[in-house]
Amino acid sequence: MGLGTSGKGHIFVTDMDSIEKSNLNRQFLFRPWDVSKLKSETAARAVKNMNPAVQITTFTDRVGVETESVFNDEFWMALDGVTNALDNVDARRYVDGRCVFYRKPLLESGTLGTKGNTQVILPNVTESYSSSQDPPEKSIPICTLKNFPNQIEHTIQWARDSFEGLFRQPAENVNLYLSTPNFVDTALRGNTARETLLSIKEYLVDARPTSFEECVAWARHKFEELFVNNIKQLLHNFPKDSVTSTGQLFWSGPKRAPDALVFDATNDLHLDFVVYAAKLHAFNYGLKGADDREYYRKVLKTIHVPTFVPRDGVKIQVQENEQPNNNDSVTADQDELDALVAALPKPAELAGFRLTPVDFEKDDDSNHHIDFIAACSNLRASNYNIAIADRHKTKFIAGKIIPAIATTTALVTGLVCLELYKLLDAQPKPLDQYKNGFVNLALPFFGFSEPIAAPKMKYNNVEFTLWDRFEVGNMTLRELLKHFETQHQLEITMMSCGVSMLYSFFMPKKKVEERLNMSLRQLVETVAKKPVPPHAKTLVLEVCCNDAEGEDVEVPSIIVKL
């Protein structure tokens, strides 16, 4: 295209991520030897090799509120347009909001396997990306995950959650307990105080290993807890022949009656769980693991596993609308919480001691993260007679890998470039010359439509769209209220900046009087209790207003120029 190759032409690209192996099959700029390098810098080098005349500046920053000092007013105002290649909705909505604020055209796009889409967003003409949104991703009910799985996806998600609950969250809780003076007080005010304190006690007192053999023993006991004892307790509460209040068998429909497993060290799946759980537990404590499976079998013979007796009175969540029971059968009372706190070692006694949380990484085969999740999921599936999944499928689901095909990427890139030609053309074009694209190579389907025009709203017979705003200087609150009454025939009833409520009609009169003579900048700083960042040239205020008839009306935002 020759983009950014002459005159003042320039391309700015940013990406804070590094290249992973799973990125290699979906694009054309990265090669195997680029793995672990920064995406933006590597992509820029590849493009410069293709065309040395192209002028590119790279960043390695996330585009978001926290980097508005980097991507500031001067940066955005200098742009002619923006193209998105993002992988999450929050980032898309943020960039879309910036483009609306600075009135910059945006070419939005995305792919999912053989499917792809492109969207053209034109200042003052079309709706924005945020004007519509996809329905929320369907989640698995908690009761299904915890007690009634019926698909391998359920057991993989359960195993993924178990990974966090065994190897990351407890280690982080321990470190917070050891490093944060008021951590216990904060934890006691939360809804999961008992669960948090129990995990700290387990990892610091009850099951703190001093050797790798103790890590193996811990893993063996976890096997018994997760795949034997919990299942026996569930069947104690709901025997296989139990019926509901309507006389229907409880274990019917999507509910599969489980069976407790019997540990067998000669079963590779059983041993897999012990091996990988022990290694990850050892990683938490900085202990060296072992690879020889005969070593594990030898240690396992020495481990005593107590017989489990199911308890009466244990509440198990059956319906999604029931309150989940995070604390087994016991509601923690103050005496129990006090006893848990008293059982913990004083942080001063463990000065310098820290655990190493395990941060999930799907693409490093040597870390055994996927190996553990695969073993854990397949054991859970064995409990419920669900067909097990191989490691590849487990990695795909647990890692939430978005299927990507280079062909789809190339097609969507081409469609975006066609619209980019139109945007950069000096001759303005009518809306019907631009096209949003929707494709599915598997069908195949190729559909195009005109971008949707920005919907028009009205107050006091004044039409406006999402691209409009009121612009004012750094006047006082009193002057702003008066300005809206006289210039726009609008009564401001509420006004906010971010999460800070600056003014409302129901505020105490004394508080309103204190704020009326403050400048808008001073008002924001006073209420938010922090200064406006030095790089900020404007403030955005959201207001609710009544029109001349006293009716509540929607109005544009207010931009305060500082």
Domains of the chain: 11-137+403-449 (3.40.50.720), 150-237+266-385 (1.10.10.2660), 457-561 (3.10.290.60)
In this model, does residue 112 exceed pLDDT 90?
no
Confidence of residue 422 (pLDDT cuts 50, 70, 90): very high
User: Quick one: pLDDT at residue 330?
Assistant: 44
Extended strands (E) in 68-114 = 82-83, 106-112
Element (H, E) at 254: none
Q: Tell me what the mean pLDDT of segment 61-68 comes to.
A: 91
Using only the alpha carbons of the chain, give its radius of gyration. Answer: 30
- Each residue's pLDDT tens digit, 264-282: 999 999 999 999 999 999 9
Residues constituting the chain: 562
Query: Looking at the predicted structure, is the pLDDT value of residue 321 above 80?
Result: no
Q: Which long-range contacts (CB under 8 A, 24 or more apart) does 100-105 make?
A: 100/128, 100/130, 100/466, 100/467, 101/76, 101/540, 102/73, 102/76, 102/77, 103/467, 104/76, 104/79, 104/80, 105/80, 105/81, 105/423
- Please give the average per-residue pLDDT across 515-522, as a whole number: 95
In the set 143, 417, 497, 544, the catalytic residue is 143
- Measured CA distances, 68 to 18, 79, 83, 162 (Å): 22, 15, 18, 37
Using the predicted structure, report yes or no on whether residue 328 has a pLDDT greater than 50: no
**Residue 332 has what pLDDT?**
56
Residue 183 is predicted with a pLDDT of 86
Q: What is the mean pLDDT of the chain?
A: 91
The more confidently predicted of residues 22 and 159 is 159
What tokens were used for 341?
A: 């706190």
pLDDT of residue 399: 85
Residue 232, pLDDT above cutoff 70: yes
> What is the percent of the chain with per-residue pLDDT over 70, rounded to a whole number?
97
In angstroms, rounded to a whole number, what is the distance separating the alpha carbons of residues 286 and 211?
10
- 376/277 Cα distance (integer angstroms): 9
For residue 319, pLDDT over 50 is answered with yes
The CA dihedral of 405, 407, 413, 419, to the nearest 10 degrees, is -130
pLDDT > 80? residue 366: yes
Could you write out the three-class secondary structure of 424-493? HCCCCCCHHHCCEEEEECCCCEEEEECCCECCCEEECCEEECCCCEEEECCCEHHHHHHHHHHHCCCEEE
The distance in angstroms from the start CA to the end CA of the chain is 40
Q: Which two tokens stand for residue 540?
A: 């955005």
Q: Round to whole Å and give the CA distance between 70 and 15.
A: 13
**Whole-number Å distance between alpha carbons of 144 and 154:** 7
Q: Is 417 a catalytic residue?
A: no
**Greater pLDDT, 451 or 339:** 451
pLDDT at position 310 over 80: yes
Q: Is the peptide bond before 357 cis (omega within 30 degrees of 0)?
A: no
Residue 303 in this model has a pLDDT that exceeds 90: yes
Q: Using an 8 Å Cβ cutoff, are 68 and 61 in contact?
A: no
The answer to whether 313 touches 329, Cβ cutoff 8 Å, is yes
pLDDT band at 326 (very low <50, low <70, confident <90, very high): very low
The pLDDT value recorded for residue 132 is 84
pLDDT score of 323 = 59
Whether residue 292 has pLDDT greater than 50: yes
Pairing of strands 56-59, 11-14: parallel
Collapsing DSSP states into helix, strand and coil, what is residue 163? helix
C-alpha–C-alpha distance, residues 50 and 342, integer Å: 66
pLDDT at residue 329 is higher than 50: no
Which of 121-125, 314-318, 360-364, 555-559 is predicted least confidently? 314-318
Measured from the Cβ of residue 189, the count of other Cβ atoms closer than 10 Å reads 8
Tokens 């906010």 appear where?
496
* Cβ–Cβ < 8 Å for 524, 562: no
pTM of structure: 0.69
Residue-wise pLDDT tens digits, 450-496: 999 999 999 998 999 999 999 999 999 999 999 999 999 999 999 99
